[in-house]
Amino acid sequence: MTGLLLIRHGESTWNAEQRWQGQQDPPLSETGRAQARLASERIGAVDAIFASPLARARETAAILANAIGLEPVIELPGLMERDAGAFGGLTRPEIEERFPGYLDEGRRPDDYEADESVAARAAVTIDAIRATVPDGDVLVVTHGGLIAQFTASLGDPQTRLANLGAVRLAERAGRLVVVERLSLAEVDEPAPSDRI
């Protein structure tokens, strides 16, 4: 049985500017790099690392892999963040200016990827990862929106993860369930067990 730890990437330059990213590709900020280095001290032994090909996830995964001594990182397009469409690159005030009332009403532009699409894409990719590593512990460095939609599809309440927040999944009665939420970059957070 595969043990899975889904990790949100470190802070990107656009996270710092509070810009919606979607599939646009800003790099990690210096804070994001520091978060990834701190998280690498808390991960423990793993058997494989998979990541979204977007720079913020790819670089987070590379820092973790280097510290753990496990390379290469396997990039999978199915782990990319949702396509935010016309919201991509905008701050909340810019969205309000261009799309008045959308955020307050929970509306999205027509080219915004639907929740169901994100969850389905994540499920297919996670199943492929489990088939690739049927027995072992796996890190999956991806994005907050994808993790939220995937865990919601498993019946777990959708909650937002901070940068380097993580969700541990396990198989129970033949299906994946969320068994733990972690914050890998918080100084006061206890370190997880030495296996994911």
Residues 41-78 pLDDT 10s: 999 889 999 999 999 999 999 999 999 999 899 999 99
CA distances from 128 to 40, 61, 168, 194 (A): 25, 18, 17, 25
The pLDDT of residue 85 is 97
pLDDT at 192 (0 to 100): 41
CA angle 133, 38, 8 (to 5 degrees): 50
Query: What is the per-residue pLDDT for 187?
Result: 52
The structure's pTM equals 0.92
Residues annotated catalytic, as ranges: 9, 81
* CB contact at 8 A, 33 and 62: no
Q: In this predicted structure, what is the pLDDT of residue 159?
A: 79
Class for domain 2-14+31-82+115-183, per CATH? alpha beta
Q: What is residue 191's predicted lDDT score, i.e. its pLDDT?
A: 42
Look up tokens 């939420």; give the residue: 181
- pLDDT given at position 71: 87
8 A C-beta contact, residue 148 and residue 167: no
With a cut of 70, list the residues of the chain below it in pLDDT.
Answer: 1, 187-196
C-alpha span between 4 and 137 (Å, rounded): 6
Which residues are CB-contacts of 50 (< 8 A; sequence separation ≥ 6)?
61, 73, 74, 75, 76, 79, 129, 138, 139, 140, 141
